[in-house]
Amino acid sequence: MNDRDDSGAPEGLIYRWFLSGVRGLVQVVLSQAVNIPLFVLSVVSFALIPIGVGVFLLPPVLLALRALANQQRAWSAAWSGVAIPVPYRPEPPSSANPFRRLKWLLTDPATWRDVLWTLVNVPVGLLLGLLPAALVVYGVEGVLVAPWVAMIADYGWGPFWPLSEWGAVGIVGSIVGGVALTAAGLQLGPRLLRAHALFNRSLLSPTRTALEQRVQELTETRSETVDASAAELRRIERDLHDGAQARLVALSMNIGLAEQLMKFDPEAAQKLLVEAREASGTALTELRDLVRGIHPPVLAERGLDGGVRALALSLPLPVDVEIDLPGRPEAPVESAAYFAVAEMLANIAKHSGAQRAWIDIHHANGALKMIVGDDGLGGADLDAGSGMRGIERRLAAFDGTMVVTSPQGGPTVVTMELPCALSSPRTLPSSGTD
Amino acid sequence: MRVVIAEDLALLRDGLIRLLEAFQFEVVEAVDNGPSLLRALTTHRPDVAVVDVRLPPTFTDEGLRAALEARKEIPGLPVLVLSQHVEQLYARELLSDSSGGIGYLLKDRVSDVSQFVDAVRRVAGGGTALDPDVVAQLLTRRAREEPLQTLTPREREVLGLMAEGRSNAAIAGKLFITEKAISKHTNNIFSKLNLQPAEGDNRRVLAVLAYLNT
């Protein structure tokens, strides 16, 4: 905003005043035409919660209120340099449920401060918005209009009312007063706007410090991570118990039996041994699949680069792979990244109907950026299966994020970011997959 | 036939030595890490090497890299790579120099002793032994494409066995049909896939693999 830079020059002064006057008037209109209806609507919707209607009515009203508040936050920063962070809690994954949605909104203290702001801003916005323009307009009137009109009509200005009763004192007083008021208005305009911004900040900024919010976030993601890894361990235990372990028991039984039969029925013994070999093969296959699910060997051997290339090769459609990583991330991050890409590729193979897919992985600005796209049908929904949300949670444990754009008709593009550092470069053999 | 073995687990290494010696192979050296494998391969120049992918010191793909390195120095050095898991990525790297004498099998396949020994001999003779799992992955990947769609189920079966590196005679034996019928099938496959007819089992296998690998 250059209106704050060119200070000093009279044109700059008038220009800045003009801007603040117009902006103030915008605030006046909003404070009356938007704040009043929104406040009334939110009170009415809240009152209607007991009979049910409010459950559906209140969230859109509160969200509209947030939009208004966010607009004020943006203007406060842009017009007066008063930064107001957005205080709202993130939307929970289950917000499709109206009651959960309502609970999410009502338990957020920022909602209540928004409502309070909506009410208080009705007079405050009116006053602070009107003053920059009004001071100057009234001051100019005192100089240019009042003295002359008073000659032909019953008219006055400020304390000199009607002006005709005050004689020369009134005329001089009106002109001097008008000049003073105009000068004050020109100077005060931007400051009054800033005062409004500061008022906004008092109600619209977060009450908790950033640190407290961070602690809250970490607590949530940590408990999710702990839950997820506990569930993962249970699954592995069950797979081992019902799979490989059971097969090894059957195997040793068969071998024991074959040992007994060897002497008097070698043929039956041989049959049992063939069976035993087959059972060992199945057990090995199951173990291999299990290991792949825990930590794929190719990831351990070749890192994210080789792991993702191997994944791409296993897909039944052509995948363009672009990977530019000068080193390897920490093992847990690498694993999270690998499984995120694996899940996206599995979704493409299962649901997208795509003819082609592409992967772009690189490291920039201290984060691993992974983009997976396809030319399929689109319409991918984060909440359709647990898969995408699971990945989102897994990434969140490392402060990672995931953004899905998937309009009906495609294309689908998933962008994931994981903050991490890369270890020192390590030479890998060229993989020749291009 | 002179063999070099690379396997870090003593139990498996001794098992492989015993198995191969029982079939009249001469094990000239058995090593347990990548650097000594590279040295053993270049000094002994064996008829065939049986190599585990994962070896010390890094426990990553040390064995595979040593084998590829050795083949750069001694082109066509026959290497049979064993692994707990098979990856198309590795199969590509092994087959990329298209000079034959390559095997890539799951470790479990060792339990079928005669098949395994047959694979070792095939690789030593400059042939190919590709794990059925790798071949299945290759075929699934191209399954949606037109040329493969036009193959009959029997032709697809023959294609799979051919990609594993088996000779006509071996495929005939496995499918219980005559060698003549097999060569009819292979001719059909080659014309449907638009491949140049190639003479000899091994060159045919390489042509098929080159097709599936692109």
Q: What are the backbone dihedrals phi and psi of residue B165, each rounded to the nearest 5 degrees, phi first? A: 105, 15
Residues forming beta bridges with residue A362, ordered by sequence position: A324, A369
Nearest CA in chain B to A299: B60
ipTM at complex level: 0.84
In terms of Cβ atoms closer than 10 Å to its own Cβ (0-12, 13-18, 19+), residue B23 is middle
Q: What band does A73 get if pLDDT is binned at 50, 70 and 90?
A: very high
- State the average pLDDT for chain B: 89
User: pLDDT-based confidence at A9, cuts 50/70/90?
Assistant: low
**Tens digit of pLDDT for each residue in B25-61?**
999 999 999 999 999 999 999 999 999 999 998 888 9
| Residue B92 forms contact with A (CB below 8 Å) | yes
pLDDT tens digit sequence for A324-354: 999 999 988 999 999 999 999 999 988 888 8
Mean pLDDT of A220-235: 85
Nearest CB to A316: which of B54, B108, B141?
B141
CA–CA dist A377, A353 (Å, integer): 6
Is B60–A315 a contact, with Cβ atoms under 8 angstroms apart? no
A49: which 2 tokens? 């919660």
Answer whether A288 sits within 8 Å of B65, measured CB to CB: no
CB contact under 8 A, B141 and A432: no
In chain A, which residue's Cα lies nearest the Cα of B140? A316
User: Which residues have a Cβ under 8 Å from the Cβ of B20 and sit 6 or more positions away?
Assistant: B3, B5, B27, B50, B117, B120
pLDDT at A5: 46
The token duo for A345 is 């590729």
Q: B108: distance to nearest CA of chain A, Å?
A: 6
Nearest to B158 by CA among B142, B178, B144, B141: B178
Total residues belonging to chain B: 214
Instruction: Tell me which residues of chain B, numbers 132 to 171, contact chain A at a CB-CB cutoff of 8 Å.
Output: 137, 140-141, 143-144
Residue A355 neighbours by CB under 8 Å, 6+ apart: A317, A318, A375, A376
Domains within chain B, CATH numbers bracketed = 2-130 (3.40.50.2300), 135-213 (1.10.10.10)
Quote the percentage of chain A above a pLDDT of 90.
41
- The predicted-structure confidence for B189-203, as pLDDT tens digits, reads as follows 888 888 887 777 777
B97's enclosing H/E stretch is none
User: CB-CB: which of A301, A431, A433 is closest to B60?
Assistant: A301
For the cut 80, the answer to whether the pLDDT of residue A10 exceeds it is: no
Set of chain B residues whose Cβ sits within 8 Å of the Cβ of A285: 108
As a whole number of angstroms, the distance between CA A31 and CA B86 comes to 68
What average pLDDT does chain A have? Answer: 86
Question: Tens digit of pLDDT for each residue in A202-218?
Answer: 899 887 666 777 888 88
The b/e string for A315-350 (b: 16+ C-beta within 10 A; e otherwise) is: bebebebebebeebbeeebbbbbbbbbbbbbebbbe
In this structure, chain A runs to a length of 434
Give A264→chain B minimum CA distance, Å.
Answer: 25
Residue A89, C-beta contacts closer than 8 angstroms, at least 6 positions apart? A104, A108, A110
Q: From the candidates B54, B58, B68, B85, which should be mutated to test the interface with A, based on the most A CB atoms within 10 A?
A: B85
What is the CB-side half-sphere exposure of residue A53 using CA atoms within 13 A? Answer: 8
CB contact under 8 A, A302 and B143: no
Residue B88 with chain A: CB contacts under 8 Å: 310, 313-314
Give tens-digit pLDDT for A25-35. Answer: 999 999 999 99
Q: Do A277 and B111 touch (CB under 8 A)?
A: yes
Enumerate the residues of chain A whose CB falls inside 8 A of the CB of residue B96.
432
Residue A17 pLDDT greater than 70, yes or no: yes
* pLDDT score for A155: 82
What percent of chain A has a predicted confidence (pLDDT) above 70?
Answer: 94
User: What is the per-residue pLDDT across A134-174, written as a single tens digit (0 to 9) for each?
Assistant: 999 999 988 888 888 877 888 888 888 787 788 888 888 88
Give the pLDDT confidence score for residue A386 in this predicted structure: 60
Predicted confidence (pLDDT) per residue in B80-101, tens digit: 999 999 998 999 899 887 777 9
Of A288, A306, A313, the CB nearest to B84: A288
Q: Which backbone phi and psi does B103 adopt, to 5 degrees?
A: -130, 145
Per-residue confidence band for A4, with pLDDT thresholds at 50, 70 and 90: very low
- The answer to whether residue A426 scores a pLDDT higher than 70 is no
The pLDDT value recorded for residue A385 is: 67
- DSSP, collapsed to helix, strand or coil, labels residue A231 as helix
Cβ contact B61–A301 (<8 Å): yes
**Taking a C-beta distance cutoff of 8 angstroms, is the pair B24, B7 a contact?**
no
Q: In Å, how far is A301's CA from the nearest CA of chain B?
A: 4
Taking CB atoms and an 8 Å limit, are A291 and B85 in contact across chains?
yes
